[in-house]
Amino acid sequence: MGLPFAPLYSSIEDIEKYINKYKYTGNAVLDNSKISVEQFKSFISKYCTINTIYAINVSDSNTAIELLNNGVYQLVDFDVSTSTDIPASRLISSSKDIKIINPGATDLSAELLKYLKTDRADGLYTTVVVDEYERCLGLVYSSKESIEKAISLGQGIYYSRSRNEVWYKGATSGHVQELLRFDFDCDGDALKFVVKQSGEFCHVPSQKSCFGSFGYGFYELESVLKDRLVNAAPNSYTRRLFNDEELLHAKIREEAQELVDAKDKDEISWECADLIYFAFVKLIKNGVSLKDVEKNLQLKNLKTIKRKGDAKPEFLVSSGSASASNGSKSNTSTSTSTVGGPIHLNVVKCSDKEAVEKAFVRPIQDTESIMSLVKPIVENVKTNGDKAILEYTSKFDKVELTTPILEAPFPEEYSNSLSDEIKGALDLSIANVEKFHKAQLQLEVMNVETQPGVICSRFPRPIEKVGCYIPGGTAILPSTALMLGVPAKVANCKEIVFASPPGKNGKLSAEVVYVASKVGCSKIVMAGGAQAVAAMAYGTESVPKVDKILGPGNQFVTAAKMLVNNDTSALCSIDMPAGPSEVLVIADNTSDVDFVASDLLSQAEHGVDSQVILVGVNLSDDYVTRLQKAVDQQANNLPRVEIVRKCIEHSTIVLCNDYESAFEMSNKYAPEHLILQIENAEDYVKLVDNAGSVFVGAYTPESCGDYSSGTNHTLPTYGYARQYSGVNTSTFQKFITAQYVTPKGLDNIGKAVMCVAKVEGLDGHRNAVKIRMSKLGLLPKHFV
Ligand SMILES: NC(=O)c1ccc[n+]([C@@H]2O[C@H](COP(=O)([O-])OP(=O)(O)OC[C@H]3O[C@@H](n4cnc5c(N)ncnc54)[C@H](O)[C@@H]3O)[C@@H](O)[C@H]2O)c1
Ligand SMILES: N[C@H](CO)Cc1c[nH]c[nH+]1
Ligand SMILES: [Zn+2]
């Protein structure tokens, strides 16, 4: 029911003077003619245990509404004729609803006892004791004297019937109580004490309440998490959540989405519990208590004008989206986001040369600024080895490791964590990539007799030590592990080293480790970015120095590869500058818009710096409209929609009038991937001059080449397809030439050698031939 009386504070001074005693009433009347709205607000936030706040002398309806919207429970004696917006439940009168007392002139315990009744023969008052969360601790009795003492000392003080005396709770056990508030029951014959209990209330050991344990609820979770914040073991999951804000936020988003997707009662309660757990971790980490949250709920509940409640646009499910139709769990809460309008490609005509030129610019970051970031990283790793790697892993990947290397044989836990399904899928991909790359393996020695007695030969040798970089920043790419590892194995490289950034749990991807053991990799550098490249280029205490570094990666990886490639002291070559993924699709009106859209999006999802281009041949307006719609709909169903959205911002449809100009466009762009979704696609392959890899026909999505068909997916980007091939078996080989010249052979070419050497002014060269030819008697006597 609440107390039938409330203390009036007529000024800030009044508050300061009387609040300490009168706070136990849990209520207060504040005089708005002396206390401003702002002062009301700070009172409300400062005195959290005062639940019921009244305002008196409120003169106008705007102030009234502001007060009610900011935590005032009711207005006393407010002139309702000034406003129709205030519900009747928020108005009371001092003549009939509540007695307003003057704290300076009233004795609180006497006032309380005026209203309190008892039906007990011994004259005691039945008293329920609850904790600050309103959980019942037990039943006790109070006397007039104990009530007076409780109020004057601000403690839980009762009357002991067995000892027949005032009972100072905790006087012997030490389990004292801080008095927070008291209250009446509905007919004023029972008292409630709200206390903060130290230790246990009950005399039974380890029993917090006389009614047993509280069960595991929100408050228990809160206290467990508070304890974990201080005491959790360094490797516990909760500690990880406290330390890794990114992980915590990802989990909150994930659980929120799972709650949205949950259907039946069990599922909903399960997902809601998960969400609450992670939300609580966020509270405790930031020193916010459940009480603070309750206070907030109360304030919101007290608002007379509620928010309209519409969701922010980015959280609305787009029309046509079927996110839940396949029951699959998306991994971000924004998977169905429509923020920023529809996801559409820009459209330009191929005759508009300037527009095409602009559309074909790759979204590359300025090389110089990247280089200036990467150079010190490379230098540091070169000088400080493992220590520097570990520091960068901590800085960029937010993982503390003790060693940057995982050595073969790799721990079985990795392989054991994989399902047979994924192992089977990787095995099939490995087998196909192996088959295709074995077919490319050149083992024969080539011999050519260029002149009689001059035999030139060429023979292959594997590059001894190779370092394969497997990206792992935005996505785990075991497919890249096999695209590099398998040809290295096929080429018989003596040592294969992998490098890949560890996940937030400090572990590598189990799939990457699985591929590593399949291809005979000796060590995996658990690091990413420029530091991993530098470690493999120069070697460290634990990372072997390699002869060639291969593999794609982000701009830091690519820049570091270029840097070490140019440093002769590193003696390390690279495959190519393979950067952000890109695709160019050539389509005509016979192509299926859904197929085309899916191919564009499959590369757009790689990264915000990826680029996708559609070159259309005679596309009708209707086709372009349907295509744009398909792109938007499919994109909004992808978990990585926000990456896709950014990529599509710099992606374009180029409209051409014939196949020849379409291929001209494509050759000019020199895409990493070229997909031909045109009628009789095979007939057009002959028009391709520049491309990393070509995907021919409607049923050849690029994904097949990315994973399982057998071709390699490490391909030149940025237009380097003009001069580079994608990774292939010979990327892991070198070719040594040899020659064998007989006296007859020397006779056939010696004079030409001497002649050219003379032109070059290199007499030493000339002499090496001359000396031999003269001993063989192949030169005239006075030859000079
Ligand atoms: N062309 C191809 O054949 C091909 C194949 C697969 C992937 N890719 C491309 O590879 C790229 C992979 O990039 P990713 O970022 O996901 O993974 P990544 O492994 O290449 O890079 C992640 C690393 O970057 C480093 N890093 C992050 N922020 C940094 C900063 N501010 N300063 C210095 N270093 C920093 C960190 O060490 C981190 O480990 C994508 O662009 C993808 O399109 C290309
Ligand atoms: N398309 C990427 C090469 O540009 C390779 C890849 C890996 N996983 C998926 N795709
Ligand atoms: Zn891909």
* Whether 475 and 394 share a structural domain: yes
Identify the band that residue 529 occupies on the pLDDT scale cut at 50, 70 and 90.
very high
Q: Which domain covers residue 187, as residue numbers?
A: 108-197
Cα angle value 511/516/522 (rounded, 5°)? 150
Paired tokens of 177: 């109580």
Which of residues 64, 85, 105 is at a domain's end? 105
The burial class, CB within 10 Å (0-12 / 13-18 / 19+), for 216 is: exposed
* Whether 62 and 141 share a structural domain: no
* Whether 251 and 272 share a structural domain: yes
Residue 646 forms part of a structural domain = yes
What does the alpha-carbon distance between residue 608 and residue 643 come to, in Å, rounded to a whole number?
Answer: 5
Q: What is this model's ipTM?
A: 0.96
Which of residues 58, 79, 105 is at a domain's end? 105
pLDDT at position 388 is: 98
Query: How many other β-carbons are positioned within 10 Å of the β-carbon of residue 153?
Result: 11
Residue 781 forms part of a structural domain = no
pLDDT at position 205 is: 79
User: Where is average pLDDT lowest: 61-75, 189-203, 306-320, 520-534?
Assistant: 306-320
* pLDDT of 323 strictly over 50: no
- The closest ligand to the CA of 482 turns out to be 2
Share of the chain above pLDDT 90, in %: 71
Question: How confident is the prediction for the chain on average, in pLDDT?
Answer: 91
Phi, psi angle pair for 486, to nearest 5°: -65, -50
pLDDT at position 316 is: 59
Residue 540 forms part of a structural domain = yes
pLDDT at position 635 is: 96
pLDDT at position 292 is: 86
- Reported as a single tens digit per residue, the pLDDT across 33-45 is 999 999 999 998 8
* Whether 566 and 475 share a structural domain: yes
- Reported as a single tens digit per residue, the pLDDT across 163-186 is 999 999 998 888 999 999 999 888
Residue 524 CA to ligand 3 center (angstroms) comes to 23
* Whether 530 and 651 share a structural domain: no
Which residue in 672, 702, 713, 760 is the catalytic one?
A: 672
* Whether 67 and 122 share a structural domain: no
> Which residue has a Cα nearest atom 5 of ligand 2?
706
Mean pLDDT of the region 84-92: 83
Identify the band that residue 336 occupies on the pLDDT scale cut at 50, 70 and 90.
very low
pLDDT at position 337 is: 36
- Positive or negative, the CA dihedral 403, 408, 413, 415 is positive
Identify the band that residue 315 occupies on the pLDDT scale cut at 50, 70 and 90.
low
Identify the band that residue 620 occupies on the pLDDT scale cut at 50, 70 and 90.
very high
Residue 634 CA to ligand 3 center (angstroms) comes to 16
Select the more confidently predicted residue: 621 or 216. Answer: 621
Q: Are 669 and 652 in contact (CB under 8 A)?
A: no
* Whether 390 and 482 share a structural domain: yes
* pLDDT of 432 strictly over 90: yes
Which of 606, 693, 702 should be mutated for ligand 2, with most atoms under 8 A from CB?
Answer: 606
Nearest Cα residue to 40 out of 66, 21, 60: 66
Paired tokens of 297: 């709920």
Which of 504, 536, 554 should be mutated for ligand 1, with most atoms under 8 A from CB?
Answer: 554
Residue linked to tokens 């009480």:
291
Paired tokens of 99: 């007695």
Residue 135 forms part of a structural domain = yes
Q: Which residues pair with 347 in a beta bridge?
A: 653
Identify the band that residue 465 occupies on the pLDDT scale cut at 50, 70 and 90.
very high
Mean pLDDT of the region 252-267: 87
Identify the band that residue 306 occupies on the pLDDT scale cut at 50, 70 and 90.
low
* Whether 153 and 256 share a structural domain: no
- Reported as a single tens digit per residue, the pLDDT across 387-405 is 999 999 999 999 999 999 9
Identify the band that residue 498 occupies on the pLDDT scale cut at 50, 70 and 90.
very high
- The closest ligand to the CA of 391 turns out to be 1
What does the alpha-carbon distance between residue 732 and residue 550 come to, in Å, rounded to a whole number?
Answer: 9
pLDDT at position 441 is: 97
- Number of domains the chain is built from: 6
* Whether 398 and 533 share a structural domain: yes
Which of residues 105, 134, 156 is at a domain's end? 105
Helix (H) or strand (E) holding 582, with range, is strand 582-588
Identify the band that residue 217 occupies on the pLDDT scale cut at 50, 70 and 90.
confident
Cis preceding linkage at 552, omega within 30: no
Which residue in 437, 606, 673, 713 is the catalytic one?
A: 673
* Whether 142 and 287 share a structural domain: no
Q: What is the DSSP letter of 85?
A: S
- The closest ligand to the CA of 727 turns out to be 1
Residue 96 forms part of a structural domain = yes
Q: How much of the chain is helix, strand and coil, in % rounded to 5?
A: 45, 20, 40
Residue 674 forms part of a structural domain = yes
Contacts of residue 299, defined as CB under 8 A and 6 or more positions apart, other chains included, come to 44, 70, 71
Residue 250 CA to ligand 2 center (angstroms) comes to 24
Residue 677 CA to ligand 1 center (angstroms) comes to 30
- Residue 179 is part of a domain; what is its CATH number? 3.10.20.810
Strands 177-184 and 190-197: antiparallel
Q: Is 203 a catalytic residue?
A: no
pLDDT at position 648 is: 96
* pLDDT of 156 strictly over 90: yes
* Whether 402 and 478 share a structural domain: yes
* Whether 517 and 410 share a structural domain: yes
> Which residue has a Cα nearest atom 4 of ligand 2?
581
- Reported as a single tens digit per residue, the pLDDT across 13-35 is 999 999 988 999 999 999 999 99
pLDDT at position 332 is: 31
Residue 445 forms part of a structural domain = no
pLDDT at position 59 is: 87
Q: Is 254 a catalytic residue?
A: no
Mean pLDDT of the region 514-534: 98
Residue 456 forms part of a structural domain = no
Q: Are 717 and 577 in contact (CB under 8 A)?
A: yes
Alpha-helical regions (H) of 47-107: 61-69
* pLDDT of 597 strictly over 70: yes
